[in-house]
A and B are shown apart, each in its own frame.
Chain A
Amino acid sequence: MQRRIFLKQGAFALVTMGLSPSFLRRTVLGNELPNVAKGKVLVCLFQRGAADALNVVVPHGEQEYYKIRPRIAIPRPTSGGAQAAIDLDGFFGLHPALAPLAPLYKSGILAPIHAVGSPSSTRSHFDAQDYMESGTPDNKGTPDGWVNRYLATCGTCEAHAKTPFRGVSLSQQTPRIMQGPAETVAMNSIDEFTVRATGTHVQRLEALYRTGTADLVHGAGQEMFDAVKMLKAANPQQYVPQNGAFYPNTQFGQRLKQIAQLIRADVGLEIAFADIGGWDTHANQGAAQGQLAQRLNEYAPAIAAFVADLGDKMSDVVVLTMTEFGRTARENGNAGTDHGHAGAMFVIGGSVKGGKVYGKWPGLAREQLYEGRDLALTTDFRTVFSEVVNKHLGAAEMSRLFPGFAPGAALGLL
């Protein structure tokens, strides 16, 4: 917070001298300047509630899977029909509700990563989400989110340097991942992002928030008026989805549509964020149908629509999905699963070397499980995040984004 106030004040002074705030931001933080980031966009999607990796990317080649999940296992692809897993590589398959994503895998732009997540042993949703968003497992003291640290410390092309839209969260609240010194925009939807008042009234309100007081409320208000003006000028809603893309009429679907609109409107977006809740399937999780399937039915078509809509533009876009942890390997007493350990992620984009499941598979035998109950971790989430931010956005110094973490060998996702 302190840094943010300082920056706002300092930036304000420089604006009056004709210098851009982002110039100041870079000078102050002494960060690296751009290389390949021009026009590149990263879209982070958080599945809050801990999605069940074993039923999302199904290890149908693993005998044990069917033993420990008698009621909720997804049938083998060989069993055929709409209930069966969609085979990926003879060992893994996708949940049938992920059918809209299967073509992306086949065309080589979608890469699932298995047994990935946080090394922290916490099974608290809130701590685990906090760690994944701050980028610092087991350290709650980190004041900012890793996306914000990227925005604050990594340069981008000058054309976009003045935009308040480098980091945008389609959400009611600013997610932890975006909190920090760099300006970001949080909005529920594009069409709500406007002041419902007439001319002089707007100017007075704006003036109220520009009185120079260095606090939370004023700071957010100042950013907001800049952002509202720019968004209205760009008018992203004039863009209609292309290539026959159909976004589901769900909150998540509509948010992905709006991210696509922001990308097309060229407002300088670099990292977008959206989340989707409801993955905490303690009871009646179901197999091919049921609670998890319902979530996936909302999730997959929205992502597929986003990819279809952006078309060739996907060569500049990477979608990165994440969830705070996986769930118990065994089903529980209510045909559900409790809080577990390692999970699964998807990386999707034109530059992604997809069509292959990444990550070392740890196995599901009792002695192979983490603490005898959960899928063990073989890939730290920071390895994936680092690789995506480095290869896609061009950031070099990962120690700023993920302090204290020395990434292992890159998976070769990009």
Chain B
Amino acid sequence: MHVRALRFLTVVAAAVALAPQVRAQVREQTADQQVRHVLNRLAFGPRPGDYERVRAMGVDAWIEQQLHPERIADPAVTQLLSQLPMYTTSVAKLRAEYGGPAPQAQLARARTRADTMEIRQDNREATRARSETEAARVGRAVISERQLEEVLVDFWLNHFNVFVGKNQQEMRFFLASYEREVIRPRVFGKFRDLLGAVAHSPAMLLYLDNRISGADSNRITLATYGAQQPVRGRAGLPVGRGSGNLLPTRAAQALQQRGARGLNENYARELLELHTLGVDGGYTQKDVIEVARAFTGWSIVPPNADGPGGRGAARQAAMASGSIVEGDFMFRPQVHDAEEKIVLGTKIKAGRGVEDGELVLDIVAKHPSTARYIATKLARRLVSDSPSFALVERAADKFTKTKGDLREVVRVIVTSPEFFAASAYRAKVKSPFEVVVSALRAVGAPADVTPRTHQVLTLLGQPVFGHQTPDGWPETGDEWINTGSILNRINFGIFLAAGRMPGTSEGTWPLPVGIRRESREAQVDAVIAAFLGGEASVETRQILISGTNPMLATAAPDSATNQMATRASNDADVTGMDPVQFRRAQAGRAFQNLPPLEGVAQIVGLALGSPEFQRR
């Protein structure tokens, strides 16, 4: 450890000393490449005109601007949000208006036809909360001027993954807020704030079961502890407020009995393994249990179960029972394990309340393993699938020195020689989200407020909030690329070129006026310039022009096989779809019965489906 620390310091010192003088020289990428590189990594690919704008502004000035999204006007997003009312509605309001028992249960109690209609209507609107959240996520990435913020929202939503299918009836109301209010405002803030906001969020409390985690029955809870001796908390902190001498109202009793009592390790483990230290970060099974004990009682205000005004009643009951209620977060002293804990070597005294969890978050946020883990993940996202040790150490060091200032950590990475190294250029394979968003940006598409784009994204394998397990979507190319995914990406390119994505007709493509009358060669050059950053191999250009591949001269496709293939394809088109996979099927149909593409559309379809377009 000592030797390692010394070596580490040496590296840092050398880097700090050298950085100003050598920075210009150590950028291996050409000026042109740097512009394209930042647009592909710190944005979801260029829109028409972006290349020229960044070039004129200068790469470094553009990066600096992107690091401060609050300084960038974003009227197109404001306009988009005005079309997505459910996405911008608070959790509290969504739960008050649409929460409660499942529609089936409500329908069973419906007295009149009007009741039934109202319940159905409510459920339709509640479902819209989810589809608007999906549309907003893709739409903002497509049109926002604050592209680095969008990239980092994508990164952190994946780091702190939650899944729409977990208790969907409730989860759907939490997701928009999770993106908009929990993650987004903090991606350039302090890691501890982001971690804390996530820990308090109803989405995470529900997803990883902490809302129902309570002290094991052999443990003293804060309620009984308070009854035995006075609660001594740190000044200013509401420790187990009123827990010792509360009057047991009927509502409070009901609340206490809600759910069985006992420890649940789910959040504690993933907090350590996936959110902070990393799986090899130096914690034990004992630490997992101690962390879980510290978070007992961190929960969610119960949903509205009693019709209009019910949520207020639930809050009242929660507070009457001694719970601390902040927004939709609730701390339940009745189930908080009040005994002493030892987390990663730090003793947490007995008799404390909600601040046990806060202290755990403090401990893990400043743990050296966390600095290294977060630095590695950011470098992997922004630089390459296997970032260099030196870069990770510099970023981790910045994390530690700035107490987890994420803006500064990102700055270290995106201004590093490694970021601008020749080996990093186009070295990342796009995720499906990146394929779809970058293609839409390339054709200058508007945000899509219909479910269509998200259906396509689902078919490509990356639905918004659709990853079931807490590790999030893959971060490296080898996991995204396989025979099936290449096929989907090719079909998507053809689909888009056939004008099947909303707002993307051929007329809006960023190609010179009168391109249709030009020669095939000129058309190909224009498409390569507009969609592939002007960079295509000689062979690719040749194929786009003539359709022949010099390297394939001896291995011409077998025409009989192709004929069979066409027949089989037609058969497949009429095959019935699995109704259970309705959403996939909707998207699946979208890729079928495409018209034959001609001329410029054909070139664009080929270009979007080309290997070059799969990289960033």
Please list the residues of chain A having a beta carbon within 8 angstroms of any beta carbon in chain B.
Answer: 1, 15-16, 48-49, 71, 122-127, 164, 172-174, 179, 184-213, 215-218, 220-221, 223-224, 227-229, 231-233, 235, 237-238, 249-251, 254, 277-278, 280, 282-283, 332-336, 338-339, 371
Contacts of A179 in B (CB 8 A): 478
| Contact B266 A232, beta carbon cutoff 8 Å | no
Q: Name 23 A/B residue pairs within 8 A (Cβ), A-sorted.
A: A127-B279, A172-B461, A191-B572, A195-B491, A195-B569, A196-B592, A200-B547, A208-B611, A210-B552, A213-B611, A216-B429, A218-B611, A224-B487, A228-B565, A232-B569, A233-B564, A237-B575, A254-B578, A254-B581, A282-B209, A282-B266, A334-B212, A336-B209
- Docked complex Cα distance between A228 and B482 (Å): 13
Interface of chain B residues 193 through 220 with chain A (CB within 8 A):
209, 212-214, 216-217
Indicate which residue in A71, A196, A227, A332 contacts B495 across the interface (CB closer than 8 Å). Answer: A196
Give every chain B residue within 8 A of A16 (Cβ-Cβ): 554-555
Size category of the binding interface on chain B: 35 or more
Q: Which residue of B lies closest to A127 (CB)?
A: B279
- Nearest CB on A from B385, distance (A): 10
B8 close to A (CB within 8 Å): no
Q: How far is the CB of B268 from chain A (nearest CB, A)?
A: 10
Q: Say yes or no: B265 contacts A339, CB within 8 Å.
A: yes
- How far apart sit A238 and B551, CA to CA, in the bound complex (Å)? 36
CB distance from B134 to the nearest CB of A (A): 18
Residues of chain B contacted by A235 (CB below 8 angstroms): 568, 571
Is residue B609 within 8 Å, beta carbon to beta carbon, of the partner chain? yes
Are B469 and A48 in contact, CB atoms less than 8 angstroms apart? yes
Q: In the complex, A123→B539 CA distance in Å?
A: 50
Give the residues in chain B near A122, CB-CB below 8 Å: 279
For the complex formed, measure the closest distance between the CB of B162 and the CB atoms of chain A, giving whole angstroms. 14
Of B479, B580, B609, which contacts A174 at CB under 8 A? B479
Contact assessment for A124 and B273 in the assembled complex, using a CB-CB cutoff below 8 Å: yes
User: Is the beta-carbon distance between A232 and B568 smaller than 8 angstroms?
Assistant: yes
Which residues of chain B have C-beta atoms less than 8 A from A199's C-beta?
A: 562, 566
Known contacts A48-B469, A192-B588, A224-B487: A217-B263 contact under CB 8 Å: no
Shortest C-beta distance, B254 to chain A (Å), equals: 18
Decide if A194 touches B569 in the complex (CB within 8 Å): yes
Q: Which residues of B contact A223 (CB under 8 A)?
A: 483
Contact indicator A197/B594 (Cβ below 8 Å): yes
Determine the distance from Cα of A124 to Cα of B272 in the docked complex, in whole angstroms.
11
Query: B217: nearest residue on chain A (CB-CB)?
Result: A333
Asked, given contacts A187-B483, A210-B549, A220-B485, whether A201 binds B596 with beta carbons under 8 Å apart, the answer is yes
A327 CB, min distance to chain B CBs, angstroms: 11
A277 touches B592 (CB 8 A): no
Residues of B within 8 A of A173 (CB): 461, 474, 479-480, 482, 485
The answer to whether A333 touches B262, judged by C-beta atoms less than 8 angstroms apart, is: yes
Chain B residues 135 to 164 lying within 8 A of chain A, measured CB to CB, are none
User: Which residue of the partner chain A has the closest CB to B545?
Assistant: A204
A207 in contact with B478 given A49-B469, A172-B461 (CB within 8 Å): no
Asked whether B548 is an interface residue with its Cβ less than 8 Å from the other chain, the reply is yes
> Judging by beta carbons under 8 Å apart, are B606 and A201 in contact?
yes
The distance in angstroms between the C-alpha atoms of A172 and B474, with both chains bound, is: 12
Whether A334 lies near B482 (C-beta < 8 A) is: no
Contacts of B507 in A (CB 8 A): none
Residue from B269, B491, B565, B609 whose CB has the most chain A CB atoms within 10 Å? B565
Asked if A172 and B266 make an inter-chain contact with CB atoms under 8 angstroms apart, the answer reads no
Q: Nearest-CB distance from A72 to chain B (Å)?
A: 11
In the bound assembly, the distance between CA atoms of A254 and B579 in angstroms comes to 11
The docked-state distance in angstroms from the alpha carbon of A258 to that of B193 is 48
Top 6 A-B pairs, shortest CB-CB distance: A333-B262, A207-B549, A232-B568, A186-B482, A224-B483, A187-B484
Q: Which residues of chain B come closer than 8 Å to A125, judged between CB atoms?
A: 469, 471
- Check if B565 sits within 8 Å of A229, measured CB to CB: yes
Closest to B214 in A: A333
Separation of A223 and B481 alpha carbons in the complex (Å):
12
Q: Given the complex of chains A and B, what is the CA–CA distance between A213 and B540 in angstroms?
A: 11
Interface centre among A191, A203, A249 (most CB of B within 10 A): A191
Identify A124's interface contact among B269, B557, B588, CB under 8 A: B269
Most B C-beta atoms less than 10 A away, residue of A179, A200, A217, A332: A217
A283 to B267: give the CA distance in the assembly, Å. Answer: 12
Determine whether the beta carbon of A212 is less than 8 Å from that of B551. Answer: yes
What are the residues of chain A within 8 A of B229 when measuring CB–CB? none
Question: Which of A71, A209, A278 is close to B611, meaning CB atoms less than 8 Å apart?
Answer: A209
Asked whether, in the complex, the Cβ of A211 is within 8 Å of the Cβ of B537, the reply is: yes
**Inside 8 A of A238's CB, which chain B residues have their CB?**
571
Question: In whole angstroms, what is the CA distance A199 to B547 when docked?
Answer: 11
Chain B residues with CB under 8 Å of A187's CB are 483-484, 487
A203 touches B557 (CB 8 A): yes
Question: How many angstroms between the C-alpha atoms of A87 and B188 in the bound complex?
Answer: 59
From residue B574, how far is it (CB to closest CB) to chain A in Å?
10
Q: Does B508 contact A (CB under 8 A)?
A: no
Q: Does B597 contact A (CB under 8 A)?
A: yes
Report if B112 contacts A (CB, 8 A).
no
Closest residue of A by beta carbon distance from B473: A173
Other than the known A187-B487, A237-B575, what 5 A-B pairs have Cβ atoms closer than 8 Å? A172-B484, A172-B485, A193-B484, A215-B611, A333-B213
In the complex, A80→B548 CA distance in Å?
71
Q: Are B259 and A196 in contact (CB under 8 A)?
A: no
Interface residues of B in 239-286 (CB under 8 A from A): 259-266, 269, 273, 279, 285
A232 to B38, CA, bound (A): 42
Q: Knowing A196-B592, A212-B539, say if A201 contacts B581 (CB, 8 Å).
A: no
Chain A residue with Cβ nearest B597: A201
* Inter-chain contacts of A204 with B (CB < 8 A): 543-544, 547, 606
B528 → chain A closest CB, angstroms = 12
Shortest CB-to-CB span from A267 to chain B, Å, is 13
Q: Is the C-beta of B605 less than 8 angstroms from some C-beta in chain A? A: yes
Task: Provide the bound-state CA to CA distance between A233 and B571, in Å.
Answer: 12
Give the Cβ gap from A70 to chain B, nearest Cβ, in Å: 10
Cβ of B615 within 8 Å of any chain A Cβ, yes or no, is yes
Q: How far is the CA of A340 from the CA of B376 in the complex (A)?
A: 29
Chain A residues within 8 Å of B605, by CB: 197, 201
Instruction: Tell whether, in the assembled complex, residue B264 and residue A283 are in contact, meaning their CB atoms are under 8 Å apart.
Output: yes
Contact of B264 among A1, A192, A206, A338 (CB under 8 A): A338
Q: Which of B459, B484, B537, B572 contacts A185 (CB 8 A)?
A: B484
Residues in B whose Cβ lies below 8 Å from that of A278 = 468
Encode contact with A along B566-598: 1 for CB under 8 Å, 0 otherwise.
111101100100111100100010011010110
- B424-463: contact bitstring with A at CB < 8 Å (1 yes, 0 no)? 0000010000000000000000000000000000010100
Question: Which of A49, A216, A228, A336 has the most chain B CB atoms inside 10 A of its CB?
Answer: A216
B34 at interface by CB-CB < 8 Å: no
Give the distance in Å from the alpha carbon of A212 to the alpha carbon of B596 in the complex. 27
CA–CA, A125 to B467, complex, Å? 15
CA distance A190 to B266 in the complex (A): 36
Assess whether B490 is interfacial by the CB under 8 Å rule.
yes
* Residue numbers in B under 8 Å from A334 (CB-CB): 209, 212-213, 259-260, 262, 264
A15 touches B488 (CB 8 A): no
**A280: B residues at CB distance < 8 A:** 266, 469
Contact: B564 with A232, CB < 8 Å?
yes
A202 and B562 form a contact (CB under 8 A): yes
B216 touches A1 (CB 8 A): no
Q: Mask for B594-616, Cβ within 8 A of A = 1, else 0?
A: 10110000100110011100110
B494 touches A196 (CB 8 A): yes
In the bound complex, CA of A221 to CA of B477 (Å): 14
Residues on A with C-beta less than 8 A from B350 are none
Which partner residue on chain B sits nearest A219 by CB separation? Answer: B481
CA distance A227 to B490 in the complex (A): 15
Give the Cβ gap from A125 to chain B, nearest Cβ, in Å: 7
The answer for the CA separation of A283 and B211 in the assembled complex, in Å, is 11
Residue from B259, B557, B558, B575 in contact with A191 in the complex, judged by beta carbons closer than 8 Å = B575
Closest to B296 in A: A333
Name the interface residues of B331-358: CB closer than 8 Å to any CB of A.
none
Q: Would B263 and A332 count as touching, CB distance under 8 A? A: yes
User: With A49-B469, A173-B474, A283-B264 known to touch, is A196 a contact of B591 (CB < 8 Å)?
Assistant: yes
